[in-house]
Amino acid sequence: MSSIESENVEFEGALGHKLAGRIYWPPDRKPLGFALFAHCFTCSKDLLGAVRIASTLAEKGWAVLSFDFTGLGESAGDFADTNFSSNLDDLTGAADFLRQKYEAPRLLFGHSLGGAAVIAAAERIPEATAVATIGAPCDPFHVAHLIEKQAPGLKGSEEATVQLGGRPFLIKGQLLEDLAEQTQMKRLANLGRALLVIHSPVDEIVGIEQAKHIYDAARHPKSFVALDGADHLIRRRKDSEWVGGILAAWASRY
């Protein structure tokens, strides 16, 4: 994929901080359309699987914007002040950036909690005609168990340091409260866009039953693809590049 160029960009996030993004361009820099990617909970745009998926999509003709949510990766801000709702605002800001500088994204896709985020953010991005999830939970509150077992009873502005993905993060109770308030089943029923659900049957973090819940709740057109044998972070090159190819082929219909 040596022909793929990437460009670092910045735009303002939900809480007023500068967010770091990267656009992957197709070889001729004349994209079929723009895609917007949301990374997994506490991850970043530089997760190797995410980079390979974005690069493969770009190789197939798409321009892809991947960015770090507030307080993560190279983006400014305090992660403890963020929540699922602020992530949706960050996604809206990313779409606004593309709309103002290039064109609005037509494809939204996200990994893990990022998949739940693009489903929720779709209603704010009317130009998007296709939404795809990769290893995503049906309900954003699914990730709460990672926090609650380490910091039970956390509420409001109360703080606790928990281990997530092998790293310490300062978490506030407001994150859990915000996750619990999300109306994801209603959003899925009213999505109004083509939906692709990609999930590994052996996903060790987000079980395959979550993919079934997403698929059952959504209306047609909808598709499901099994990412057989892949781990949750899609570490193997053949898996992540295959996902990028599937996304490109599917999205071309929309």
Question: Using an 8 Å Cβ cutoff, are 95 and 23 in contact?
Answer: no
CATH number of the domain at 220, please: 3.40.50.1820
The pairs formed by 220-226 with CB atoms below 8 angstroms and a separation of 24 or more are: 221/194, 221/195, 222/194, 222/195, 222/196, 222/197, 223/194, 223/195, 223/196, 223/197, 223/250, 224/196, 224/197, 224/198, 224/199, 225/196, 225/197, 225/198, 225/199, 226/199, 226/200, 226/201
The answer as to whether 146 is a domain residue is no
Question: Using an 8 Å Cβ cutoff, are 124 and 92 in contact?
Answer: yes
The answer as to whether 48 is a domain residue is yes
The answer as to whether 224 is a domain residue is yes
Angle at 232 between CA 25 and CA 186, to 5 degrees: 85
For the beta carbon of residue 207, count every other beta carbon within 10 angstroms.
17
- pLDDT tens sequence across 51-68: 999 999 999 999 999 999
The answer as to whether 44 is a domain residue is yes
Question: Using an 8 Å Cβ cutoff, are 39 and 94 in contact?
Answer: no
State which residues form the domain around 235. 5-141+183-251
The answer as to whether 162 is a domain residue is no
The answer as to whether 11 is a domain residue is yes
In what helix (H) or strand (E) does residue 146 lie, and over which residues does it extend? helix 144-148
The answer as to whether 60 is a domain residue is yes
- pLDDT tens sequence across 230-244: 999 999 999 999 999
pLDDT tens across the length of the chain (254 residues):
446 899 999 999 888 899 999 999 999 999 999 999 999 999 999 999 999 999 999 999 999 999 999 999 999 999 999 999 999 999 999 999 999 999 999 999 999 999 999 999 999 999 999 999 999 999 999 999 989 999 998 999 999 999 988 899 999 999 999 999 999 999 999 999 999 999 999 999 999 999 999 999 999 999 999 999 999 999 999 999 999 999 999 999 98
* Total tally of structural domains belonging to the chain: 1
The answer as to whether 173 is a domain residue is no
